[in-house]
A and B are shown apart, each in its own frame.
Chain A
Amino acid sequence: MIKRSAAPLYLFEYMFDIFPQLVVNSLIAGSIYALLAVSFNFIFSATRFFNLAHGSFAVIAAYAVFYFGRELGLPTFLAVGIGVLFAATSAILIDRFIFHPLKMRGGSPMILLVASLGVFTVINSIISMIFGSSFKTISNTIDKQYFELFGAAFTSVQLWIFILSLVVSIGFFIILEKTIFGKVVAAVSDDEEVSKIVGIDTDKVMAKVFFIGGGIAGLGGILAGFDTGVQPSLDMFFLLKAVIAAIIGGIGNPYGALLGAYLIGFLENFGIWVIPSEWKDTIAFVLLIVFLIFRPSGILKRK
């Protein structure tokens, strides 16, 4: 029987106990969201419309890993590579055959958005037909080791998620800031017309943007799949997390997307401290709405 006067102390100790675990969970979630958000922002900056099929790239990669890794039994790193390639290739093909032609016909951003809705629907239905809509795990072949740090438990898979996400993010930012390609993309993002005039082959740049963005999103989907498994309906889940993180962090700013991703990761996991856990996904949305009302440009300014 815990005496009333002791309750606050008990609560405090409890909070102190699970704090590290919450931090770890936040970082894992943030890592996955980061890849999704950064890639979304990357493509959005260049194309200027909301591609609602972004989550689909992630799901394609995850299912590719499921197929090649679990069904065909290929080694994990190979399956992951194939998965990322599948996502990147899908992205570039979709742009080549759908988004690009639509833009050439003078399609408004709304038309592109609706077209991306069509793409989303098609990919979702195809995956459901091939693999079924039930939940599948894809990380069977990995030996799971358990670690503990400051009282927080995590698996080797989760450690990989964190590390891979960090490495890829850093690599991406280096490419963005330090390479010529990065500067070219920045120019096209800033003003496509002027870039064309200056002699940049914007079509090629767009293709590369989709390839890289799709690939990174794919990796995000794969890592999420390793953590919690896959399901066709994750395409909406990935999309929404990516978009919300990108907007909250600051649309048009790649670091903003990173910030937004970890922010959501933390707020979601710490949020269920105060509210029942089933409302976890709702947190991100409420945050989105709040930001859209009061600060639609997000935290960081557009680059």
Chain B
Amino acid sequence: MHLSVLVGVYAILGLSLNLVVGYSGLLSLAHAAFYGVGAYGSAILMKDFGFSFLSAVVLSVLITMAVGVLIGLVLSKFDGDYYALASLGFSVIAFGVFLNWRDLTNGAFGIFGIPKPEIFGYKFLAGEPYAFLVLLAVIFTFLICYFVVNSSFGRVLKAIREDEKALQVFGYKTTLYKLAVFVISAGLAGFAGTLYGSYISFIDPGGFDDLVSVNLIVVVILGGLASLNGSLLGAAFFVLLPELLRFVGMPDSITGQMRQMIYGLGLIALMMYRPQGILGKFRL
């Protein structure tokens, strides 16, 4: 049950990031920033301001999207390597904010006791109820992504990925599209953050640093670029791999790093032999 919730959270993160990386061809390393803003946002709204879960989630997602607009505006001016770099920079800046704006985020100590969701009087405790909630969230996210990807908007994203400058000649203000998909993706990541925070009931800056962004990129690329199913696969792999390692006898202390190593090797192998990822439909 616990694992399925984590898989669900990572699925939402992977699906949303795939919109930007897989479909639009923008290597964004900023995703953890939005994951964090969402998590901190809802945690603070619920604990310090007494918002109910639903309104905290909605408000938090809106806040995350607003941050997404700001960061997206800057990022839309770049592409390729510089995009990756600048987005990484934002991830680090966001981490700095989580860590240092102590009045708001409690800094390195994190935020304890984030309440579980209570929707229409029903409290979603850990275990089956929460897993069900997350499942709904994943379906919701999947539907949104599916809709975006298969619309004319989605087609434009793919064309931006292929040849942005050529596409502009045909009348497209590509910067707006890049911004739009980035904001949608950011909002969904924030959504994942709210679900995560309420589940674990404790968050700290370390859960949203630049390495998390890197892990998310691995999830997306491994599962498959421009494949929604691929992101589900990638998320499942990512969460379940340490369990698998534990099962075959690896000591607890290194399962996390073992997973990192396997993922790193997997990434290299993929770039060599299958750059689109396992289920992917597009190469970088």
A and B touch in the complex (CB under 8 A): yes
Known: A110-B284, A118-B264, A281-B92. A101 touches B272 (CB 8 A): yes
Chain B, 227-284, CB within 8 A of any chain A CB: 254, 257-261, 263-268, 271-272, 275, 283-284
Interface assignment of B77: CB less than 8 Å from any CB of chain A? yes
Interface assignment of A124: CB less than 8 Å from any CB of chain B? yes
User: B82 touches which one: A121, A276, A278, A292 (CB < 8 A)?
Assistant: A292
Interface assignment of B218: CB less than 8 Å from any CB of chain A? yes
Q: Is the CB of A118 within 8 A of B265?
A: yes
Interface assignment of B124: CB less than 8 Å from any CB of chain A? no
Residues of A within 8 A of B265 (CB): 118, 122
Residues of B within 8 A of A49 (CB): 81
Smallest CB-CB separation from B269: which chain A residue?
A118
| Contact code string A80-120 (vs B, CB < 8 Å = 1, else 0) | 00000000000000000010011001011111111101111
Interface assignment of B88: CB less than 8 Å from any CB of chain A? yes
Residues of A within 8 A of B86 (CB): 288-289, 292
How far does the alpha carbon of A128 sit from the alpha carbon of B264 in the complex, in Å?
14
Chain B, 87-112, CB within 8 A of any chain A CB: 88-90, 92-93, 96, 99-100
Residues of B within 8 A of A129 (CB): 254, 257-258, 261
User: A114 touches which one: B27, B78, B210 (CB < 8 A)?
Assistant: B27
Q: Is the CB of A50 within 8 A of B85?
A: yes
Interface assignment of B166: CB less than 8 Å from any CB of chain A? no
User: B267 touches which one: A114, A123, A293 (CB < 8 A)?
Assistant: A114
Interface assignment of A188: CB less than 8 Å from any CB of chain B? no
Q: Is the CB of B267 within 8 A of A105?
A: no
Smallest CB-CB separation from A232: which chain B residue?
B257
Interface assignment of A146: CB less than 8 Å from any CB of chain B? no
Interface assignment of B176: CB less than 8 Å from any CB of chain A? no
Q: Is the CB of A107 within 8 A of B271?
A: yes
Q: Is the CB of B261 within 8 A of A115?
A: no
Q: How many residues in B have their beta carbons less than 8 Å from beta carbons of A?
A: 41
Smallest CB-CB separation from A44: which chain B residue?
B81
Smallest CB-CB separation from B215: which chain A residue?
A121
Q: Is the CB of A281 within 8 A of B81?
A: no
Residues of A within 8 A of B145 (CB): none
Residues of A within 8 A of B89 (CB): 240, 244, 285, 288-289
Residues of B within 8 A of A142 (CB): none
How far does the alpha carbon of A296 sit from the alpha carbon of B82 in the complex, in Å?
9
Interface assignment of B217: CB less than 8 Å from any CB of chain A? yes
Interface assignment of B66: CB less than 8 Å from any CB of chain A? no
Q: Is the CB of B100 within 8 A of A124?
A: no
| Contact code string A271-289 (vs B, CB < 8 Å = 1, else 0) | 0000010110110011011
Chain B min CB distance to A292 (Å): 5
Name which of A49, A120, A285 has the most chain B CB atoms within 10 A of its CB. A285
Interface assignment of B74: CB less than 8 Å from any CB of chain A? yes
Q: Is the CB of A122 within 8 A of B268?
A: yes
Q: Is the CB of B260 within 8 A of A125?
A: yes
Interface assignment of A207: CB less than 8 Å from any CB of chain B? no
Known: A117-B214, A292-B82. A278 touches B272 (CB 8 A): no
Residues of B within 8 A of A128 (CB): 257, 260
Q: Is the CB of A110 within 8 A of B264?
A: no
Interface assignment of B207: CB less than 8 Å from any CB of chain A? no
How far does the alpha carbon of A35 sit from the alpha carbon of B284 in the complex, in Å?
31
Q: Is the CB of A121 within 8 A of B264?
A: yes
How far does the alpha carbon of A289 sit from the alpha carbon of B90 in the complex, in Å?
9
Residues of A within 8 A of B78 (CB): 292
Q: Is the CB of A286 within 8 A of B74?
A: no
| Contact code string B118-131 (vs A, CB < 8 Å = 1, else 0) | 00000000000000
Interface assignment of B113: CB less than 8 Å from any CB of chain A? no
Interface assignment of A164: CB less than 8 Å from any CB of chain B? no
| Contact code string B25-43 (vs A, CB < 8 Å = 1, else 0) | 0010000000000000000
How far does the alpha carbon of A126 sit from the alpha carbon of B275 in the complex, in Å?
24
User: B81 touches which one: A113, A118, A240, A293 (CB < 8 A)?
Assistant: A113
Residues of A within 8 A of B27 (CB): 110, 113-114
| Contact code string A129-156 (vs B, CB < 8 Å = 1, else 0) | 1000000000000000000000000000
Known: A121-B218, A129-B254, A288-B86. A281 touches B96 (CB 8 A): yes
Chain B min CB distance to A106 (Å): 10
Residues of B within 8 A of A120 (CB): 214, 264
Residues of B within 8 A of A50 (CB): 81, 84-85
User: B263 touches which one: A112, A121, A281, A288 (CB < 8 A)?
Assistant: A121
Smallest CB-CB separation from B218: which chain A residue?
A121
Residues of B within 8 A of A276 (CB): 100
User: B84 touches which one: A113, A121, A123 (CB < 8 A)?
Assistant: A113
Q: Is the CB of B84 within 8 A of A293?
A: no
Can you list 13 A-B pairs, Cβ within 8 angstroms, ordered by A? A50-B85, A109-B80, A110-B27, A113-B27, A114-B217, A118-B265, A122-B260, A129-B254, A129-B261, A243-B85, A247-B85, A281-B92, A285-B93
Q: Which 3 A-B pairs have the closest CB atoms?
A: A121-B264, A118-B267, A122-B264
